[in-house]
A and B are shown apart, each in its own frame.
Chain A
Amino acid sequence: MQIDLSNKVALVTGASRGIGRAIALELAASGARVVVNYRSQQQQADEVVAAIEQAGGTATAVHADVAQPADIERLIKTTQETYGGLDILINNAGITRDNLLLRMKDDEWDAVIATNLRSVYQLTKAVLRPMMKARWGRIITITSVVGLTGNAGQANYAAAKAGLIGFTKSVAREMASRGITANAVAPGYVETAITDVLSDEIKATALANIPVGRLGQPDDISKAVVFLASDAAAYITGQTLAIDGGMTMY
């Protein structure tokens, strides 16, 4: 019953904090060796690695800005050189640049598409060969319920996150015969640095629309991700698992 990911190597992008951090910790707790990718929060990434090592796991922090193609290449190469493979890719890194469409600047659109969508294309493409060779792979992409419902002020973010869902389904179809599954997880309102900046009023409105009556926590997401990464989820592919306390029920 215990999920066993020993002998697996996992790469989690944007793992220095929030949802990515929780996923890295949970994968490591299940036995995977984990690459903790970060862009700017080196100290926090090191703390994640330290927490994993203290619990008896194996992890290493690797810097890369996933919006930079050269960084991605290096990130994948470093992962393979460090641990000799790459079995589980968690596409988690993401940013927001919220603005009403009328006022949205081109660089706000471009930055969100580059970091949240284009990076996933490039990362996923880069991991296919090692996964095909192993005839086993798990690609799990963190999208958002906003990608299903849209959200005022987040045309860029919603477009990127919806794009990830179509991307996931296509990868699932292309890779199924190779033992590789691709799924997405769509968190609702999870308490992280991304949502900390929102006003209390916005948070109260969100809460009123969440049937379970609480905001999500990073651990709510990480447990589902580890389930999807396990052998028990081998027949699930192309799916988007909403973890939103009943907020959308898509």
Chain B
Amino acid sequence: MTLPRLPLEDQVAIVTGASRGIGRAIALALSEAGARVVVNYQHNINGAAEVAGLISGRGGAALTHGADVCVPDEVQQMVDAAMNRWGRIDILVNNAGVTRDAPFARMQEQQWHDVIEIDLTSAFVCVQAVLPVLEQRRYGRIVNVSSLAGLAGNVGQVNYAAAKAGLIALTKNLARELAPRGITVNAVAPGYIETDMIEQVPDRQLQWALNAIPLGRFGSPEEVGSAVRFLTLPEASYITGHTLVVDGGWVMP
């Protein structure tokens, strides 16, 4: 008996910031759909190795690659590594991101700069590196992990909200530029998701958020992973420039 063909079989995906949280769930979701996955990390080599281990344990293929996604040379090496191993790239998920929260009046320039670099410029760098490969086969799926903060703002996150809103504009603009080449570009905007990132948020604020979310719970990384995976499928070819909000009904922008 032959198994049914998986929708992303033979495809290769790069997921940035995939050693934990949402990136990890995206890497696993893409792998479940048959993709071979580059698990990018910056510092958390153990986390990345664990993700790769989970993937290969299920019979999938994964490659961990440490790279600072803001540094073009390092990103190029990651693209080269994927090409050397598998000879193709079909999917890029720009997920890497950090928070450096502070009230605007007290925000340090370094906090602003770090978040803009890591959450926004990284997407520019990664798309530039992957694009020549995608263009060769006139096919590609790019998904940017934005945030509800990029649509609605969030107290203490002027840097993060600006970067994530920037990602949405980058998504729309690239969608227009790359559509003729068979490449779709979309964003996913998660609300509150249970990751390390929200462990830094004060309990009082979390309780407030929980009360404001109609579904009455935080989302799981897997739920974001599923949404990203849907947008990477070949059958999502008519969706581009869209921001899919995964927020339990919180904001409904």
Contact = CB atoms under 8 A, between A and B. Distances in A.
A213 B138 CA distance: 14
A217 B36 CA distance: 29
A211 interface: yes
A162 interface: no
A177 B33 CA distance: 31
Interface string B140-174: 00000000000000000000000000000000100
Interface stretch (B63-71, B104-112, B200-208, B214-222): B214-222
Nearest to A231: B226
Contact of A1 (B32, B236, B248): B32
Contacts, number: 109
B19 to A, nearest CB: 22
Contacts of A227: 230
How many chain A residues sit at the interface, stated as a range, is 35 or more
B244 A172 contact: no
Contacts of B34: 1
B223 interface: yes
Interface in A194-250: 211-214, 216-217, 219-220, 223-224, 227, 230, 232-239, 241-246, 249
A249 B226 contact: no
A105 interface: no
Interface residues of B, number: 39
A212 B244 contact: no
A176 interface: yes
A236 B7 contact: no
A176 B176 contact: no
A129 interface: no
Given A212-B184, A223-B236, A246 B249 contact: no
A2 B6 CA distance: 9
Contact of B239 (A1, A213, A214, A243): A243
A217 B247 CA distance: 29
Given A223-B236, A233-B226, A237-B215, A176 B248 contact: yes
Contacts of A230: 226
A105 to B, nearest CB: 34
Nearest to A179: B215
Contact of B180 (A211, A220, A243): A211
Contacts of A212: 179-180, 184, 237-238, 240
Interface of A: 1-2, 169, 172-173, 176-177, 181, 188, 211-214, 216-217, 219-220, 223-224, 227, 230, 232-239, 241-246, 249
7 contacts: A1-B6, A176-B249, A211-B179, A212-B179, A217-B238, A220-B239, A227-B230
